[in-house]
Amino acid sequence: MAANNKRISKFMSLLLRHRPEVGGLTLDAEGYVSAVDLLRVLNADGHDIDRAGLNELVATNEKKRFAFDETGTLIRAVQGHSKEVNLKLEPVTPPDVLFHGTVAKFLEPILDEGLVPKGRQHVHLSGDWDTATAVGSRRGKPIVLKVDTAGMHAEGHAFYQAENGVWLTDRVPPQYISR
């Protein structure tokens, strides 16, 4: 992704996941905003982008963080919200094991308390070791944890899968986590 697109993507993540008010935006109940309004905010912030550029950014974003609604007039982040939104995800049966990438400074609290969403709506889990490694490496030397999702699911924990493949759950108790 070009450096400018990376900056735009980061600003879009801020607006569509955490702080829409920074741009004077309001997320609807499902996390959507008008694509026209988002473009207005992006350009007012100095990002030179038009609708074709926004379409390309959404289509080529390697993490697939954003999606348009079926009309193409509304846009949202597909997961990672700290704002309360209803992504309208249905519970699904997860694979037997999922993964979580982290770093050493967070390991002890995770092993003691489990994985909790902190300021977000859900805990994020990866479907494969490599993705979890990449996630963990954003903050330093990665440590990948295995999550016994089969055991959690059998105990009644719900799992969801975002449009970009990220697995979501409310929390992961420590007894389901191993190194």
* Shared-domain flag, residues 47 and 104: no
The CATH number linked to 138 is: 3.20.170.30
Q: pLDDT confidence of 78, banded at 50, 70, 90?
A: very high
C-beta of residue 30 within 8 angstroms of C-beta of residue 86: yes
- The answer to whether position 168 is within a domain reads yes
- The answer to whether position 158 is within a domain reads yes
Count structural domains, the chain. 2
Mean pLDDT, the chain, rounded, equals 94
* Shared-domain flag, residues 9 and 60: yes
- Summarised one tens digit per residue, pLDDT across range 110-122 is 999 999 998 889 9
What b/e string do you get for 12-22 counting C-beta neighbours within 10 Å, with b at 16 or more? bbebbbbebee
107 has a pLDDT exceeding 90:
yes
Per the listing, tokens 């092993």 go with 111
Which pLDDT does position 1 carry in this prediction?
44
List Cβ neighbours of 76 (8 Å cut-off, separation of 6 or more).
Answer: 16, 27, 30, 31, 32, 33, 66, 67, 69, 85
End position of a domain, from candidates 45, 77, 109: 77
Bigger pLDDT: 137 vs 1: 137
3 has a pLDDT exceeding 90:
no
- The answer to whether position 89 is within a domain reads no
Q: pLDDT confidence of 63, banded at 50, 70, 90?
A: confident
CA distance 145 to 121: 20
* Shared-domain flag, residues 108 and 52: no
**Domain range enclosing 39:** 3-77
- The answer to whether position 38 is within a domain reads yes
The CATH number linked to 39 is: 1.10.10.970
C-beta of residue 47 within 8 angstroms of C-beta of residue 7: yes
- DSSP E strand boundaries for 1-141: 33-34, 66-68, 74-77, 97-103, 123-125
- Residue 90's nearest CA partner among 31, 32, 154, 159 is 159
What b/e string do you get for 66-91 counting C-beta neighbours within 10 Å, with b at 16 or more? bbbeeeeebbbbbbbbebebebebee
C-beta of residue 158 within 8 angstroms of C-beta of residue 123: no
2 has a pLDDT exceeding 70:
no
* Shared-domain flag, residues 171 and 101: yes
- Summarised one tens digit per residue, pLDDT across range 9-59 is 999 999 999 999 999 999 999 999 999 999 999 999 999 999 999 999 999
Give the N- to C-terminal CA distance of the chain in Å, as an integer. Answer: 32
